Amino acid sequence: MSQQIGVVGAGTMGQGIAQVLLQSGFVVTLYDVAEAPLDRARNAIDKGLGKLVEKGRLSDDERSVAQQRLSTAISLKALGSCEVVIEAAPEKADLKEALFRDLSRLSPDIILASNTSSLSLTRLAAVCEGPQRVIGMHFFNPVPVLKLVEVIRAEQTSDATVARVEALAEAMGKTSVAIADSPGFAVNRLLIPMINEAIFLVHEGAASPEDIDTAMKLGAAHPIGPLALADLIGLDVCLAIMDVLADGFGDPKYRPCPLLKRMVDAGQLGRKSGRGFFHYT
C-alpha cells in the first residue's frame, strides 16, 4: 500500500510538493482552509502532470492513477492517518507555530516537516507534543524542477526522523543536504542577501534592473538574474527572509533595502501580483 503523506497549504509550494509526491507513487491529502485554493491546486497539479505526459515522462494511465491518489480537505483531522505531514503555509511564525501545535495533537506517530525557508525549526518543535519528530524539509520553487531539499535538524529532532525524511526526499527524486538550524539555513542565507544587494543597486541608481540581471547572467553565469529571481520568489518572501536574518544575527549587513520595503508595501510582489522589478501578464 502506498504511503500516505499530508501537505498543508495549497499555494505554489504546496501544489508543487503534492505533484511530486503523486508522481512518485505516494497517496496525498492536501489541506487548506477553504475549497477555492484546493480547487486551484488540483487544476495546477493536473496541468503539471499533463506536461509530464506531453514530455513522455508519464503515460496517460500513470497520470490518471496519480490523480486518483490525491484527496483534499479543509479539516486538519483528515491528516491524522498520514505518516508524514509537510507544512507549506505562508512564511509567518505565529501561523506555523499554531499549525504545528495542532498537527502534533493529531497522532503521536506523524513526522512533522516544515517547508519554511528561514524560520527556526527548534522554535517550531518547542510548541509541539513529541518535538523529536519535527524537522525542516525546505523545497525550492518550482518544486517539480529543482532537485534540492534542505533537511534542517532542530535541536530536538531524532536520528530516526532525519533518516525517514532523507529517505522520503530520495523517493521523491530529490537530493537532500543536511543543514543546521540557523537563520536562513544555507541557500537563502547566501541568496537573499545577494538579491537585497541587487535591490540596493537599483535604490541607489547605480544600474537598472535589466542591466543588473544581464550583468549577473553574462558575467557570473547565473541562469536567471537576481531581480527576476526576486520576482519569482516573491518580494514579500524576500523581505520576510531578510527580516529573519536581521533579527537572528543582529548584524546590519542583513538590513532590508528601503526600496524592497516600499515595493512590498505597494503590493508590487513580483510575478504573483503582475509587477515587481519587471511587469508580467
The span from the CA of 68 to the CA of 81, in Å, is 18
Reply yes or no on whether 35 is catalytic: no
- 91 has binding-site annotation: yes
- 13 has binding-site annotation: yes
- 71 has binding-site annotation: no
- 80 has binding-site annotation: no
- 261 has binding-site annotation: no
Packing angle of the helix pair 209-219, 226-233 (nearest 10 deg):
110
β 148-153/175-180 pair status: parallel
Beta bridge partners of 70: 28
- 117 has binding-site annotation: yes
CA distances from 5 to 12, 26, 158, 172, 276 (A): 17, 7, 19, 12, 35
Tell me which residue of 56, 57, 60, 70 sits closest to 26, measured CA to CA. Answer: 70
Reply yes or no on whether 166 is catalytic: no
Catalytic residue among 24, 104, 120, 150: 150
What's the burial of 126, exposed, middle or buried (CB within 10 Å: 0-12/13-18/19+)? Answer: middle
CB 59 within 8 A of CB 23: no
- 92 has binding-site annotation: no
Catalytic residue among 24, 104, 115, 117: 117
Catalytic residue among 114, 118, 120, 188: 188
Q: What is the dihedral of CA 227, 150, 23, 29, to 10 degrees?
A: -100
Which stretches does DSSP call E strand in 51-145? Answer: 70-73, 84-87, 111-114, 134-138
Beta bridge partners of 112: 85, 134
- 137 has binding-site annotation: no
The span from the CA of 77 to the CA of 3, in Å, is 18
Tell me which residue of 44, 40, 14, 50 sits closest to 29, measured CA to CA. Answer: 14
Catalytic residue among 87, 115, 120, 138: 138
Reply yes or no on whether 279 is catalytic: no
Reply yes or no on whether 114 is catalytic: no
- 9 has binding-site annotation: yes
- 160 has binding-site annotation: no
Residue 48 identity (one-letter amino acid): G
User: Mind telling me the catalytic residues?
Assistant: 117, 138, 150, 188
Known binding positions: 9-14, 32, 91, 96, 117, 141, 272
Annotated binding-site members for NAD(+): 9-14, 32, 91, 96, 117, 141, 272
